[in-house]
């Protein structure tokens, strides 16, 4: 385990088996659809890279980047689009891939923004969810795990751009972040 972590919350094996399960569900739900997998940079890239290899139906890949925590562990509530989609999504079945839903502010803004572009359908797949922290009602259509209100890193999730490359998800020791 990385020495900055208090504990491992989800092991590499747990993550891989959950990704296989989600991939199988998505593959069966999106048969004969126009699936666009929309990754939210940067946190979702590790999850997305594993997940799309478990999706057995044709798909297009696109990405958006929105402003997030930066160096702080508090949500600002302000969402800005830093990078937009490359292709339009009219008539497409868009599946947003997120690393974690916390207050729900990011996804609530994104859903509204994307719905205005007239996709055939718009759903959310998140690896992690902190339902106790919700400020606006967002219900993911596909979810890996509910987790408690602790700041986690690894498997794409960072603190100050570090720890994204850990193959598991762990809880950072308090002395390594300012709350």
16: part of which helix (H) or strand (E)? helix 12-29
Minimal distance, residue 150 CB to ligand 5GP, in Å: 7
Minimal distance, residue 175 CB to ligand 5GP, in Å: 16
The DSSP output letter for 134 is -
Whole-angstrom CA distances from 111 to 26, 34, 118, 133 are: 19, 18, 11, 19
Answer yes or no: 102 catalytic. yes
Nearer to ligand 5GP, 94 or 100 (CB): 100
> Per the residue annotation, which of 50, 93, 102, 158 is the catalytic one?
102
**Longest Cα pair distance anywhere in the chain, in angstroms?**
50
Nearer to ligand 5GP, 85 or 109 (CB): 109
∠74-77-78 over CA atoms, to 5°? 120
138/20 Cα distance (integer angstroms) = 24
Nearer to ligand 5GP, 29 or 177 (CB): 177
Task: List residues binding ligand 5GP (CB under 6 A).
Answer: 43, 68-69, 75, 98-106, 151-153, 157-159
Minimal distance, residue 151 CB to ligand 5GP, in Å: 4
| Active site amino acids | 102
């Amino acid at each position: 385990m990385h020495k900055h972590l208090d504990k491992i919350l989800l092991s590499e094996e747990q993550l891989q088996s959950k990704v296989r399960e989600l991939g199988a569900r998505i593959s069966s739900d999106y048969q004969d659809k126009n699936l666009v997998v929309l990754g939210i940079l940067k946190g979702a890239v590790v999850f997305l890279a594993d997940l799309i290899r478990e999706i057995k139906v044709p798909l297009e890949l696109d990405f958006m980047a929105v402003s997030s925590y930066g160096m702080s562990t508090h949500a600002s509530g302000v969402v800005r689009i830093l990078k937009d989609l490359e292709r339009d999504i009219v008539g497409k079945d868009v599946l947003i891939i997120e690393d974690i839903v916390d207050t729900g502010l990011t996804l609530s803004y994104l859903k509204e923004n994307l719905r205005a572009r007239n996709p055939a359908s718009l759903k959310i797949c998140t690896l992690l969810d902190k339902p106790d922290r919700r400020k606006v009602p967002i219900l993911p259509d596909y979810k890996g795990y509910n987790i408690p209100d602790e700041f986690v890193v690894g498997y794409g999730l960072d603190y100050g751009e570090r720890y994204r490359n850990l193959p598991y998800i762990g809880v950072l020791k308090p002395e390594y972040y300012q709350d």
